[in-house]
Structure 1
Amino acid sequence: MLDYSTMDTPVGPFTVVVSRAGAVRAAGFTTEVRELMSLVHPVLLEPVRAVDRTVVDEPVLAYLDGDLTAIDAVPVEQHTAGEFMRHAWRVMRGIKPGAPVTYTAFAGLSGRPAAVRAAAAACARNPAALFTPCHRVLRTDGSLGGYRWGLGVKEWLLRHESGD
Structure 2
Amino acid sequence: MIDAQLVPTPVGPLVLLSREGVLVAAGFTADPSQLFIRLTPDLRAEGLEVVDDLGPASEAVRAYLAGDLTALDAVPLSQPGTPTRRRLHAALREVKPGTTVSYGELAVLAGLPRTAARAAGSACSQNLIAPFVPCHRVLPSSGGYGGYYYGVPVKEWLLAHESGAIANPK
TM-score w.r.t. length of structure 1 = 0.94
Q: Describe the superposition over 1:124-147 as per-residue Cα deviations: whole angstroms up to 9, x where unpaired.
A: 000000110010111003311110
Q: Which residue of 1 aligns with 2:8?
A: 8
Gaps of 5+ in 1: none
| Structure 2: distance between partners of 1:94 and 1:41 | 25
Q: Which residue of 1 aligns with 2:30?
A: 31
1:43: Cα distance to partner? 4.1
Q: Is 1:39–1:125's contact at 8 Å kept on the other side of the alignment?
A: no
SS state of the match for residue 61, structure 1? helix
Q: Which residue of 2 aligns with 1:67?
A: 68
Matches within 5 A, 1:111-130: 111-112=111-112, 113-130=114-131
SS state of the match for residue 105, structure 2? helix
Residue identity matched to 1:26: A
Of Structure 1 and Structure 2, the greater helix share is in 2
SS state of the match for residue 71, structure 1? helix
Gaps of 5+ in 2: 166-170
Q: Is 1:25–1:127's contact at 8 Å kept on the other side of the alignment?
A: yes
Matches within 5 A, 1:3-152: 3-20=3-20, 22-45=21-44, 46-55=46-55, 56-80=57-81, 82-112=82-112, 113-152=114-153
SS state of the match for residue 128, structure 1? coil
SS state of the match for residue 73, structure 2? coil
Residue identity matched to 2:19: S
**Structure 1 stretches of at least 4 aligned residues deviating more than 4 Å after TM superposition:** none
Q: Is 1:15–1:33's contact at 8 Å kept on the other side of the alignment?
A: yes
1:40: Cα distance to partner? 2.0
Q: Identity rate of aligned residues, in percent?
A: 46
Q: Is 1:39–1:126's contact at 8 Å kept on the other side of the alignment?
A: no
| Structure 2: distance between partners of 1:118 and 1:147 | 16
Q: Is 2:36–2:48's contact at 8 Å kept on the other side of the alignment?
A: no
Q: Which residue of 1 aligns with 2:168?
A: none
